[in-house]
Structures are given as C-alpha cells and as structure tokens.
Amino acid sequence: MTGAVCPGSFDPVTVGHLDIITRAATQFDEVVVTVMINKSKRGLFTVDERIEMIAEATTQLKNVTIASWHGLLVDYAKQEGYTAIVKGLRSANDFDYELPMAQMNQKLTGVDTLFLTADPAYSFLSSSLVKEVATFGGDVKDMVPASVHARLLARIAERKAE
C-alpha cells in the first residue's frame, strides 16, 4: 500500500491544485490532502472551510482524503505512516522555494518529496493571485471549482462590508 501527503495552504483550492491531487491519486493507493495550519496568517477561509471545499471538489477521487495539521509536515507524515510528500512545481521559482524544504524534510525524517510538474495551462495560477484578482472584480471562474467560486465571491463581499 503506497500513500502520500499532498500539503498546502489551499486558501482556497484552485484547479491547479486539483490537477496535482488528481494526478497524485493515480500514482499512489492513498493520497491525503493536508491543509497546513499557519496561526500567524489570517486566511480568507477557515481551515474547516478549506477542507470542505477540497472535499466537495474531490468527491470523485475515492482514494483521496483530507486532513489538517499544525506543526511540522514530516511529523504528520511519520505519525500517519506516509513515506512521500507530493508537491506541484509551476516554475523555477517554485523549485528554488521547494528544494530546501524537501531536503530539510528528507534530512529530518527520511520522508521524500516527489514533484509533479504543473500543467502549463495552470503554471501562472496561485491562490493568492486568484484572491487578489477576484477582490478587484476580475473573472476567476475558470481558475477554481464552481463551489469555491461562489464561496469566494461571497467571502470577498463580506470582507468588503466589514
């Protein structure tokens, strides 16, 4: 039985994330998408909301589950018995950011990181850009799952009313 952790902030999940999750699910018997909790950052969505949105978008992937974790990612992987981390790589910038983390994680626990190259159609896509564009009224409909799009517009409207 092979299993991998697919970690991230997922604030919110995008179609680029879903492409990586879907492809990871063809390579491993089990994939756990893990929403990493960063208490020093106020997200647009709560961790529970992020989990719900990922769950709604991955119902068809029967070997994908969702979890959250606060602390070191490798402690979660070790605790749950996962031997691999899967990440998407959009660009050389991603590689420069990811390489030291992958090496640190390998050094700490022996858990290896496997990179899947992003579909070029999504290589510009990030949760941060989606939020920024949507905040200023840009069309991000094709960049997130439909249920995320609805929640995104609603949350942005709520925040503007605050």
Quick check: 15 and 125 in contact, CB under 8 A? yes
Q: Which of 90, 131, 149, 151 is an active site residue? A: 90
Query: Is residue 41 flagged as an active site residue?
Result: yes
Q: Least distance from C-beta 159 to ligand PNS, angstroms?
A: 20
Query: Is residue 9 flagged as an active site residue?
Result: no
Antiparallel, parallel or unpaired: β 112-117 and 64-69: unpaired
Q: How many CB atoms lie within 10 A of CB 157?
A: 9
**Which residues in this chain contact ligand PNS in the complex, by CB under 6 A?**
7-9, 36, 72-73, 101, 104-105
Query: Which of these, 150, 147, 118, lies nearest to 134 by C-alpha position?
Result: 150
Quick check: 78 and 106 in contact, CB under 8 A? no
Query: Is residue 127 flagged as an active site residue?
Result: yes
Q: Which is nearer to ligand PNS, 9 or 151 (CB)?
A: 9
Query: Is residue 126 flagged as an active site residue?
Result: no
Q: Least distance from C-beta 161 to ligand PNS, angstroms?
A: 27
Quick check: 45 and 155 in contact, CB under 8 A? yes
Q: Least distance from C-beta 129 to ligand PNS, angstroms?
A: 13
Q: Which is nearer to ligand PNS, 94 or 119 (CB)?
A: 94
Catalytic residues, by residue number, are 17, 41, 90, 127
